[in-house]
Structure 1
């Protein structure tokens, strides 16, 4: 539904050129909820604005719903955008956009704000009113049609923004940090709404965000951007099953310091039914091992229960090949972490001999062990 190929965007200033996008290749399937995540300055907003050609790419192509939008754009001198062609305006009608800042007109009622794009489309007053009320009912705000935006909460304002974005019956919805200005509970409700719309309307949704919880909550696929490039992408289950995946580590962070060369640290990813199985206890009993649990996380991603756990086994990797093989046989994703070298022992001052006192507040305690 959305494909970018070698997409680049360079902003030219008097003093220097700033590369916001550097050869971005992305594919979003029809009906997919796709999250693009990255820190500020990673190029996320430039990407989403190039997808609907609010920004004209410096090079590369953008295809939405089978139409190459970059081929429909008219370029001025030095690649500057000119007024959109009629063909580009027609293609854009299948793309809705929700912004971080609601951009509602304070002088218009809620219904009036939703009617605005319908006026541009040339609908009659009766048609506009009927359509706006249908959309407000869809986002749960039918009772607020006659209210002005100043009397709405942040979450309600964003719902109006979503209704307005759906006015042209788009096939694609772009969301640029739509929940970043909302509190956690309101964020969850807006994300649930976007997921419901995605399923009810077979709507393809491209989300730009810097929040991992957004990706974890609603996205089928995700891409990580850094310095204008996509450094990792795939479906959420694929990412969680990829050893060394940076996105998987960020989605389900695990604490626990990895031990020295005489210990073997292993990250385990549980999917579906395996998430409820007592695999570690069985491992401990089957091989008579003292298994230390360094960290664990359990949550739902892409609608499925997923868990990650970091454990430590006594002995080097060579001593644990069979137990690790047992874990893999259970259908688990296993990643063996590199051992760390022991730090040099600090010198003990003669004036302050070792006392054997308990660790100070904040010092780490030994990892818990699973009984044999």
Structure 2
């Protein structure tokens, strides 16, 4: 993509929030990235502008037919520099979502460069305490005005950013979560859009999430849509099981999101010498492993928490307590290593981070 990003600096800067009291997605940086698409021009007019509301036609097709995709990644303070963690993987996955949702692909290298410029401009928004970071949300929406049910001819790509606090507080550091195994509602089926980050996937999950919360559980573990037998993923993360020394995670089957953290965990575990199998695993196999004492750890992986140990699984009338509701050694090692790489505190042995070369103020 042979274009330059035009930069429009904000004339005034916002007051920073209290970084000791950060809420997820409540405060946004001074600038955002915007780029438009039309069938005549392709992707055009890439620009960094002051963060501001959008003016859109009420008939914009995204409001009616949900043609939208998004991503999530983070920038981290690292000494006197800033690190991005595998941003090219997020834009590669964005293109997979684009292809399924009939949205034009973006140039991955161009988007990584544009993101680096945006983070550079607003790098003073990156909080510096342990566990804090700058959350980055790229997304694309269909903006063509009209009510015909068809792919739109106009789109808008945007990147917004928000400082976020540590996922784990000092009082509940790596505290295992309670997971409800959903056996009524389904999330996705092969051939659908379950492997994409499209808005409708998350809207469809809210009913089950509310149900789990009412029962006293933190998140939902989805089973396959056809037999309601095989484990797929948790609402906001991929899932791993350590059974008799072997690490098992559901294979990507067309209805499971290909998580960037999931991929990183698999690469790191294999680098460490663990056997990692991506295969189909039933909830009954998990149940039996718990009963015969071979289920050693369960943990989720995702951008927000990096690693989220699971202490309890509720399946039908059974409540399985895993590893005495304690964080396992593998979970802890993964969390400390990946979060250490993200912040530059540990050696980046697999070449995952991109330093921006900016000075944190």
User: Common fold, TM-score beyond 0.5?
Assistant: no
Q: Which structure dedicates a bigger proportion of its chain to helix?
A: 1
TM-score (norm 1): 0.27
TM-score (norm 2): 0.28
Structure 1 or 2, whichever has the larger Rg, is 1
